[in-house]
């Protein structure tokens, strides 16, 4: 299937599901289902963004690239949101790159179709502006978390966010990826992950890990996870996350 049929709309993306039925029906013919392949760059920093992606499954990281080439995550998007937000705000590029961190699927909307839809649908415009504010809140809590909390708490928070986007308890995450996401050395992630495993909260595997105690993982995380979740729900309604 190359396009979503307006007469049979079944989407998992929380933003699209929040649209009035008529608005979604008008948008549907321009939406194209695409696969999100692990480690694919959806757009690079400071380069034109030609489409937006409404995430259906998986997770996409927004990454800041340092002068030495290191990448540090500043935000993450799953099926509660979309990738390509600068287009909504009147810009055509981002200072960050967008990288598929967990494989899945999305509904792609070309930039021109997005602009037409924003002009035609006040509901879509208002919804995406609220999402922009919610994502700003996530970025703010990420900055606060990185500055104030220990690695084990930060790792627990990030694993909860990743678990929210997964369909099961098994997450395709390596220590290398986790160190990039947290902006710390791999050795530090290994120690923190080992502590969470010994507490019975996760089980480490080769190239993946499994969440074995979700409530325990929430207890091990700092307040930043819950605070970010509350902001999303305040602005966008009941969340699809597993709270």
Concatenate the DSSP letters of all residues of the chain into one string. --S--TTS-----HHHHHS-HHHHHHHGGG-EEEEE-TT-EEE-TTS---EEEEEEEEEEEEEEEPTTS-EEEEEEE-TTSEE-GGGTTT-S--SSEEEEEEEEEEEEEEHHHHHHHHHH-HHHHHHHHHHHHHHHHHHHHHHHHHHHS-HHHHHHHHHHHHHHH-SSSEE---HHHHHHHHTS-HHHHHHHHHHHHHTTSEEEETTEEEE--HHHHHHHS-THHHHHHHHHHHHH-S-SS--
pLDDT tier for residue 121 given thresholds of 50, 70 and 90: very high
pLDDT at position 7 over 80: no
Q: CATH 2.60.120.10 occupies which residues in the chain?
A: 14-123
Query: Does the structure show a pLDDT above 80 at 5?
Result: no
**Lowest-confidence region among 38-42, 96-100, 182-186:** 182-186
pLDDT band at 9 (very low <50, low <70, confident <90, very high): low
Q: pLDDT at residue 151 above 60?
A: yes
Residues of the chain with CATH 1.10.10.10: 150-221
Other Cβ atoms closer than 10 A to 22: 10
Domain 150-221 top-level CATH class: mainly alpha
Tell me the two tokens of residue 15. 């933003």
Q: What is the spatial distance between Cα 82 and Cα 107, in angstroms, rounded to a whole number?
A: 9
Q: Which phi and psi angles does 199 have, rounded to 5°?
A: -80, -5
Do β-strands 170-171 and 208-211 pair in parallel, antiparallel, or remain unpaired? antiparallel
- Could you tell me which residues are beta bridge partners of residue 208? 205
Average pLDDT along the chain: 88
pLDDT at site 241: 54
At residue 71, the pLDDT reads 82
What's the mean pLDDT in 198-225? 92
One DSSP character per residue, 170-229 reads EE---HHHHHHHHTS-HHHHHHHHHHHHHTTSEEEETTEEEE--HHHHHHHS-THHHHHH
Percent of the chain whose predicted confidence (pLDDT) is above 90 = 57
Instruction: Report pLDDT for 239.
Output: 62
Q: Which of 43-47, 163-167, 189-193 shows the lowest mean pLDDT across its residues?
A: 163-167
Identify the residue with better confidence: 189 or 237.
189
- CA–CA distance, 135 with 129 (Å, rounded to integer): 10
Neighbours of 46 (CB within 10 A): 11
Instruction: Report the range of poorest mean pLDDT among 42-46, 62-66, 89-93, 118-122.
Output: 62-66
- Average pLDDT on 201-206 reads 91
CA distances, 219 to each of 19, 122, 216, 223 (Å): 34, 40, 5, 9
**pTM, rounded to two decimals:** 0.87
The topology under which CATH files domain 14-123 is: Jelly Rolls (2.60.120)
In the predicted structure, residue 3 carries a pLDDT above the cut 80: no
């Amino acid at each position: 299937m190359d396009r979503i049929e307006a007469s049979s709309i079944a989407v998992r993306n929380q933003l699209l599901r929040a649209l009035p039925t008529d608005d979604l029906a008008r948008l549907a013919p321009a939406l194209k289902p695409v696969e999100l392949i692990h480690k694919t760059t959806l757009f690079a920093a400071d380069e034109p963004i030609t489409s937006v992606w409404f995430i259906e499954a998986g997770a996409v990281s927004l990454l800041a690239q340092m002068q030495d080439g290191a990448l540090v995550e500043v935000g993450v998007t799953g099926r509660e949101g979309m990738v390509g937000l600068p287009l909504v705000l009147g810009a055509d590029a981002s200072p960050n790159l967008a990288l598929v961190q967990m494989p899945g699927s999305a509904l792609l909307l070309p930039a021109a179709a997005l602009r037409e839809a924003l002009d035609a649908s006040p509901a879509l415009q208002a919804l995406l502006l609220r999402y922009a504010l919610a994502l700003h809140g996530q970025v703010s809590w990420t900055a606060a978390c990185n500055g104030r909390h220990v690695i084990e708490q930060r790792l627990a928070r990030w694993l909860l966010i990743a678990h929210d986007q997964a369909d099961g308890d098994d997450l395709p995450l390596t220590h290398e990826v986790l160190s990039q996401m947290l902006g710390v050395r791999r050795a530090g992630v290994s120690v923190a992950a080992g502590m969470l495993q010994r507490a019975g909260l996760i089980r480490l595997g080769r190239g993946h890990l499994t969440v074995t105690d979700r409530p325990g993982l929430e207890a091990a995380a700092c307040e930043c996870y819950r605070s970010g979740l509350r902001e999303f729900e305040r602005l966008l309604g009941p969340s699809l996350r597993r709270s």
